[in-house]
Structure 1
Amino acid sequence: MTKRTTTLWRPTGPKELALVEASGWRAWPPRLPEQPIFYPVLNEDYAVRIARDWNVPASGAGYVTRFEVDSAFLARYPVQQAGGRTILELWVPAEELEEFNAHIVGLIEVVREFHAED
């Protein structure tokens, strides 16, 4: 029997992406002390806006990743509306990220990328 999964997206910059790559594309890195939550988002459009409009100016590049997580596990995290009706996130406390990573099904993949113009 196959587990039901939910597709999530994560906008990220080059430093975080390098750590994901170092994990074999299987896990998100631990949060920094100033990052109390890990927030994957529920739609690609929102992830694109963050990667393009925030990550590119902040670090020169922005990436949109897509990954699958066991739906039953995700039920513990209520959907957070962080703005308009399509601005939806899950808020995973930093101390639960290792357990969250254990419920990723398959690999984390880069589906879009944006770079600062030279």
Structure 2
Amino acid sequence: MKTTTLYRPVGEKEMVLILESNFKKFPPRLEWQPIFYPVLDESYASEIAEKWNTRDEAGNYLGFVTQLQINILPRMSEQEIIMSCGCRQKKLDKFNQAIIGSIEVTNVFIGNDFRKSENTEIENLILKLKNET
């Protein structure tokens, strides 16, 4: 098996669920998110987190960029990797099993309408990420 790095932008609700899994898995899709779709490029994930998540009230106007390593089949092209990872709920469990180690959080973007999180771990994560930049 070989590995590849993927990125996934998430809002506050998903980040809380990732925290609750001890950074081991992505949560079941939220009601308005039918497809789980990671990307290969951190700058693209950052663009989504900054331009979309920071304007989303449901995610408390926060955009986190997560990074993960997964096992993949040898000789898969980048397009095949993305196509196989973009999945509906029934395949998400299989995807989570392919994660190597822990999901990391590499950046956070904060929208103008952000309200202090009720979750202390989220607030601590924001402070940590902002102090690293």
Within-5 A mapping of 1:1-118: 3-58=1-56, 59-72=60-73, 75=76, 78=80, 79=82, 90-117=85-112
| Rg (Cα) greater in structure | 2
Aligned residues with identical type, % of pairs: 41
Stretches (4+) displaced over 3 A: none
Q: 1:45 Cα shift? A: 0.8
Q: What is the CA RMSD across the aligned residues, in angstroms?
A: 2.2
Aligned length: 106
Instruction: Measure how far apart 1:35 and its partner are.
Output: 2.7
Using the TM superposition, name which of 31-40 and 104-113 deviates more: 31-40
Normalized against structure 1, the TM-score is what? 0.80
Could you say what secondary structure the match of 1:113 adopts? strand
Amino acid paired to 2:66: T
Q: How far is the alpha carbon of 1:72 from its aligned partner?
A: 1.6
1:105 and 1:25 map into 2 onto residues whose CA distance is: 11
- The Cα shift of 1:106 comes to 0.6
Query: SS at the partner of 2:108?
Result: strand
In structure 2, relative to structure 1, the CA distance for the partners of 1:114 and 1:39 (3 Å cut) is same
TM-aligned CA deviation for residue 94 of structure 1: 1.7
1:59-118 Cα deviation digits (max 9, x unpaired)? 321110100010129x5x8345xxxxxxxx941122100111011001001001111247
Which structure features the higher share of strand residues? 1
Aligned counterparts of 2:110 and 2:94: Cα–Cα separation in 1: 32
Unaligned runs of 5+ in 2: 114-133
Deviation at 1:36, TM superposition (A): 2.6
Q: Which residue of 2 aligns with 1:86?
A: none
TM-score (norm 2): 0.71
